[in-house]
Amino acid sequence: MTFERASGVLLHPTSLPGQFGIGDLGEQIYRFLDMLTDCCQKLWQIFPLGPTGYGDSPYQCFSAFAGNPLLISLETLVDEGLLSKSDLTHEPFDAHRVDYWPVIQFKTALLKKAHQNFRISSSAEQKQRYGDFCEQQQDWLDDYALFMALKDTHDGTVWNTWDEKLVTLDPATLDVWKETLSEQIDYQKYIQHLFFAQWLKVKAYANSKGIKVIGDIPIFVAFDSADAWSHPDLFFFDEKGHPLYVAGVPPDYFSATGQLWGNPLYRWDVMKERGYTWWIERFKKTFELVDIARIDHFRGFAKYWRVPAGEKTAIKGSWEPGPGADLFRTIENALGKLPIIAEDLGVITPDVVALREAFDLPGMKILQFAFDSGEDNNYLPHTYDKNCVVYTGTHDNDTTRGWFDKASDDDKHQVRTYLQTDGNDICWDFIHAAWSSVANMAMVPLQDLLALDSEARMNTPSTLGNNPFSSISPSVFLTMTCTSFERCFSFPVKVLTAFANPHSNPAP
């Protein structure tokens, strides 16, 4: 699918400033969207919106369908009469990074209070809206709510350590637990209702401003998820719920042992027998929340790296065939042609290219990858065709300023020569290069728009700890309001006009 020419910003809602330790779906997100509109930006890209689990990463969620309760705006709940202003009194949170544990404790307590207030004093109209939501989302919501309630009851332990009859989904046992945990289950459903209501208002506001939201579909789900627990027959598990194989990528230039992700792998043969219904539903629900979807690790649909469970590294894996065109043809037949971006980074073989081209999907170009070889590097702007999306960097890259500071002298020389710059304003050199390329879409992480260094890096792949998806402090956000976003207004003639009417990409 060919997209209209547009540019935008990569920023997950958690990175917005917020009073309660994390960005949310409150006032600041609308302010951010207004800024995008003022600067002629038409795209806003986010990470997966699901409830984060292991490592607090949006790429390891408890569900492929649910929303993250931590994004719920507490101030909006005050406006709706579900909380009082005094409920929001709190000790100071870290203003520069999301410290998840205190955020989880604070927000969970207030979300539970909001649920109790709803049960006590909600109007007939509010009850009707909640009931309608539960009915509309029943296909995934019932399993998810039970899973999360059971997880809380088992102190957060992984589902395959629970009682055997829960692991094997014994119907009589599940019925007993549904009765026992009815209030906790209702709480889980209700906070999903709150999330969806708030998010859909945000999306509607973005669309009213002419902004399209780009979401993210990771190819794999987390092992500790409602998806894996409630559909064990779709994965390579033994009878006790232990993975037989896990996902990863093989050794390469960047890692001698590869990357061992640990996600459970799909039984594609079983999914095909069932008409890929789980995937159809996943795409359908995703496009209720976003306008465009980026498919993470697209190459895994052609072939994926399968590692036997228990291995300490990804070395002893093997390439296995994915579903290929059959999956995408089935989804297209069910839902029509969808606006999809293929994340085709890494080791890309001809079968991956053929799969992407068969469905006319735009791939990705990363400017930070463009300067470590000669003029034939296909990440250099003069090699692009229109049907691609160019990024200065992604969430897995260092910030552009941080990358350039660490680049070799040879790479810096190539950058200066190709971009005809002294490198003193490298972030905006990259932004200018992206905007003036022939790529139909150009995306810039907010950290690059602000010219921030490596301290603001969003994520470092294959690591855990104090790095995932940093937030932007209120003071920095104010700086963005007063300086960096205003800088866009110095570009309309030179860059924004060029972006709307692209010239041929210059050779180096």
Would you name the residues annotated as active-site residues? 296, 343, 396
Nearest to 470 by CA among 9, 8, 10, 14: 14
What's the half-sphere exposure (Cβ side, CA atoms, 13 Å) at 454?
Answer: 8
DSSP codes joined into one string, 47-91: ---SPB-GGG-TTSBS-SS---GGGS-HHHHHHTTSS-GGGG--P
Distance CA 328, CA 276 (A): 10
Map residue 292 onto helix, strand or coil: strand
Which ranges of 212-292 would DSSP assign to H, the alpha helix? 226-230, 268-273, 277-289
Q: Under 8 Å CB-to-CB from 11, ≥6 apart: which residues? A: 32, 44, 45, 46, 445, 446
For residues 194 and 186, the answer to whether their CB atoms sit within 8 Å is no
Map residue 320 onto helix, strand or coil: strand
What's the half-sphere exposure (Cβ side, CA atoms, 13 Å) at 105?
Answer: 6
For residues 382 and 428, the answer to whether their CB atoms sit within 8 Å is no
Map residue 443 onto helix, strand or coil: strand
Distance CA 447, CA 442 (A): 15
Nearest to 219 by CA among 257, 287, 268, 273: 268
Distance CA 401, CA 113 (A): 44
Instruction: Indicate the helix (H) or strand (E) that contains 216.
Output: strand 212-218
For residues 333 and 277, the answer to whether their CB atoms sit within 8 Å is no
Distance CA 459, CA 468 (A): 5
Distance CA 207, CA 202 (A): 9
* Number of residues that make up the chain: 508
For residue 336, is it left (φ>0), alpha (ψ between -120 and 50) or beta?
left
For residues 67 and 58, the answer to whether their CB atoms sit within 8 Å is no
Map residue 235 onto helix, strand or coil: strand
Paired strand residues for 390: 365, 442
Nearest to 287 by CA among 199, 214, 208, 370: 214
Site of tokens 């005094």: 86
Nearest to 198 by CA among 293, 79, 65, 57: 79
